[in-house]
């Protein structure tokens, strides 16, 4: 098992149209910070909580093969250790996924890669000792590269510059593509073995001060299946880059909308929309009724 992460590849990925588009969405979101409005700060907190619910649901769906629901993931996130009428296997996996997220959480501040490996172990991805060592060494090398390029031990300073966002997203993409190669298995098991890598990718985003990403179970499974069918490192790298850039655009635009969401304004718009639809429905109902030409006009 070998790990290659070249600066030239990061530069190349950062210049692709898909990554540039994602970087634009990321820059628009980052430009909102630092948040000072209480409503926006509350919205962002809720977004973060919902993000962990979505990610842990994805992990549990892939790991168990069961139809894990949003309420399942919400109940466990809120502290449940059993759910009446639901398989305990689902609950246990959701608990493990939340523990893994919590274990990895301080990595963005400390750069302690042991936290990533500890969180990976909680997911029981089926890695043998050779894979564990290879991933641990690779993550340590990524961390060294971050220090070398940015001369920092905490999170990299936030930037709403599109070029900076593109470069940082490219680092995440290239790192993820290489790590997925290290945990490669047959297509039926690759998604399970990839779960710690996907969670690490999110923590690496945070470490690089770009917004987090969110993947569905279907996206991760489709990713590993596409990788299994592809031939050549460049083809596989392209597959990872395309998915990550697409997810970034969708997720970062959603995050920005969630932060800026105003319940009063939303209620006002909903009321206006209802009134518009009612008027259109009323007009359609009486469209067949023609005006009487002999009826005198009434000035208003």
Whole-number Å distance between alpha carbons of 245 and 10? 14
CATH number of the domain bearing residue 276? 1.10.3290.10
Can you give the residue range of the structural domain that contains 180? 7-285
Task: For the chain, give the mean pLDDT.
Answer: 91
pLDDT value at residue 232: 79
pLDDT in tens, 4-40: 888 999 999 999 999 999 999 999 999 999 999 999 9
pLDDT over 90 percentage in the chain: 77
pLDDT in tens, 149-203: 555 566 688 999 999 999 999 999 999 999 999 999 776 799 999 999 999 999 9
Whether the predicted pLDDT of 2 surpasses 80: no
Q: Report the predicted TM-score, pTM, of the whole model to 2 decimal places.
A: 0.86
Average pLDDT over residues 98-122: 97
Whether the predicted pLDDT of 300 surpasses 50: no
Q: Which positions ≥6 away from 44 have C-beta within 8 Å?
A: 35, 258, 259
Does residue 174 form part of some domain? yes
Whole-number Å distance between alpha carbons of 236 and 242? 10
pLDDT in tens, 262-279: 977 656 665 666 667 777
Whole-number Å distance between alpha carbons of 1 and 9? 19
Does residue 298 form part of some domain? no
Does residue 300 form part of some domain? no
Does residue 145 form part of some domain? yes
Does residue 180 form part of some domain? yes
Does residue 43 form part of some domain? yes
pLDDT value at residue 3: 80
Q: In which band, very low, low, confident or very high, does the pLDDT at 43 lie, cut at 50, 70 and 90?
A: very high
Does residue 23 form part of some domain? yes
Whole-number Å distance between alpha carbons of 113 and 139? 7
Residue 136: Cβ within 10 Å count: 15
- Comparison of pLDDT for 179 and 294, the residue scoring more: 179
Q: Which of 170, 177, 226, 228 is nearest to 198 (CA)?
A: 177
Average pLDDT over residues 227-234: 86
Does residue 295 form part of some domain? no
Q: How many structural domains does the chain have?
A: 1
């Amino acid at each position: 098992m070998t790990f290659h992460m070249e600066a030239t590849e990061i530069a190349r990925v950062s210049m692709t149209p898909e990554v540039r588009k994602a970087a634009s969405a990321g820059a628009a979101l980052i430009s909102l910070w630092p948040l000072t409005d209480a409503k926006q700060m509350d919205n962002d907190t809720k977004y973060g909580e919902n993000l962990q619910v979505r990610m842990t649901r994805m992990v549990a769906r892939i790991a168990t093969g069961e139809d894990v629901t949003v309420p399942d993931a919400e109940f466990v996130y809120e502290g449940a250790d059993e759910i009446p009428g639901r398989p305990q296997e689902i609950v246990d996996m959701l608990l493990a996924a939340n523990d893994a997220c919590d274990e990895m959480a301080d990595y963005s501040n400390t750069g302690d890669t042991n936290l990533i490996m500890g969180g990976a172990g909680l997911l029981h991805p089926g890695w043998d000792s050779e894979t564990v060592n290879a991933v641990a060494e690779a993550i340590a090398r990524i961390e060294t590269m971050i220090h070398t390029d940015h001369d920092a031990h905490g999170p990299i300073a936030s930037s709403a510059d599109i070029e900076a966002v593109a470069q940082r997203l490219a680092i995440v993409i290239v790192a993820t593509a290489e790590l997925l190669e290290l945990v490669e298995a047959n297509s039926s098991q690759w998604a399970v073995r990839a779960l710690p890598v996907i969670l690490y990718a999110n923590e690496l985003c945070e470490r690089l001060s770009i917004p987090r990403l969110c993947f569905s179970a279907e996206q991760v499974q489709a990713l590993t299946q596409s990788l299994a069918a592809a031939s050549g490192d460049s083809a596989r790298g392209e597959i990872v880059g395309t998915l990550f850039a697409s997810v970034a655009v969708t997720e970062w635009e959603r995050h920005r909308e969630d932060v800026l969401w105003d319940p009063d304004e939303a209620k006002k718009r909903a009321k206006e929309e209802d009134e518009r639809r009612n008027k259109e429905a009323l007009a359609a109902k009486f469209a067949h009724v023609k005006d009487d030409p002999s009826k005198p006009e009434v000035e208003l």
